[in-house]
Structure 1
Amino acid sequence: MAMIKNMVKQLVSLHGTNEPQRIASLMQIIVFYEEFKNVWGYFNTSRRIMMIHVNRNLDETLQRFVIAHELGHRVLHPKVNVPFLKSNTLQSIDRIEREANQFAVELLIPDNLLLEGISIYEAASICGVPEEIADLKSRSALKHNSLSDEHSYLNL
């Protein structure tokens, strides 16, 4: 978990933003908005050209999350062809998808929001992260938040 958080911090520091579309552009990843029925998006490389494919039927907030998730695959799993694994093997991809979700959550929810005293679910809503995966946010910010709340309480 800490490894992913650190990778996200380095990426944000390097590019000066946590905006997934901007990071993709700076990493020379082309983002395509396409018509899909049951797929939110996927990452692939063809002839050394990196691409993120996003379902154009999703709302903009969810598209932003999908780009962040697919960036996670690019950074964490550069050699793994997730669409191929899903359709052609019996190999479990749960770990890979969970890590990409965690990457997206860390990228989209800045620690400072949690340090301001709002809940992880409120932060997820503000930042466009699906509520059901908000708890993937690193606990280090949450622990620090609860300690600062306790400290504030003691000073009342």
Structure 2
Amino acid sequence: MVDEIIRKLTRKYKTSCPFELARALGIHIRYTDLGKSTKGLYYRKLRRRFIVIHNQLSPEWQRFVCAHELGHDRLHKGINRFFLEEHSYFAPGKLERQANRFAILLLTAGITVRQEETSLDVCRRSGIPPEMHPLLEGMSLK
């Protein structure tokens, strides 16, 4: 499912850049100080969609966060996290894992993984923060 969403997005807009995709989809990107523990967030207000990115992150992290939040837009439409935490057994951690997977697949779209490459090598080559390399190890990239 995620692969298909990314394939359609990158084919339609001819880019895998999360910033360009967000603009093409009408999502407003804002930068602000979100404190030490928050890298970014996604929200809707009055039919407008926003991605907010912590302004003190490196460009590499800002790109990853934008891709992650774009994942929430594409995969989790209309889901209220507070509602999930308070009124269901659906773990919000799952939503974050799905958004991370979306970000990794988007940022590696069009990249062929070489046989000798490690997940850390793929991160470096595709501009994914090296701290995210453990997530690549469990994924099959094409």
TM-score range, shorter chain: 0.7 to 0.9
Which residue identity is paired with 1:16?
Answer: K
Is the Cα–Cα contact under 8 Å of residues 52 and 67 in structure 1 kept in the other structure? Answer: yes
Identity %: 25
Structure 2 match to 1:65: 64
Shift of 1:54: 0.4
- Tell me the secondary structure at the aligned position of residue 112 of structure 1: coil
Q: d(CA) in 1 for partners of 2:100 and 2:94?
A: 10
Structure 2: stretches of 5+ with no match in the other structure: none
Choose between structure 1 and 2: higher helix proportion: 1
Q: d(CA) in 2 for partners of 1:18 and 1:116?
A: 23
Q: d(CA) in 2 for partners of 1:57 and 1:78?
A: 28
Which residue identity is paired with 2:136?
Answer: A
Shift of 1:115: 4.7
Is the Cα–Cα contact under 8 Å of residues 53 and 62 in structure 2 kept in the other structure? Answer: yes
Q: d(CA) in 1 for partners of 2:67 and 2:83?
A: 20
1:140–1:131 Cα change, 3 Å: closer
Structure 1: stretches of 5+ with no match in the other structure: 142-156
Please provide the CA RMSD for this pair.
Answer: 2.0
Superposition TM-score, scaled by structure 2 size = 0.85
Is the Cα–Cα contact under 8 Å of residues 24 and 30 in structure 1 kept in the other structure? Answer: yes
Is the Cα–Cα contact under 8 Å of residues 85 and 93 in structure 1 kept in the other structure? Answer: no
Shift of 1:114: 0.8
Report the count of equivalent residues. Answer: 136
Structure 1 match to 2:136: 134
Superposition TM-score, scaled by structure 1 size = 0.78
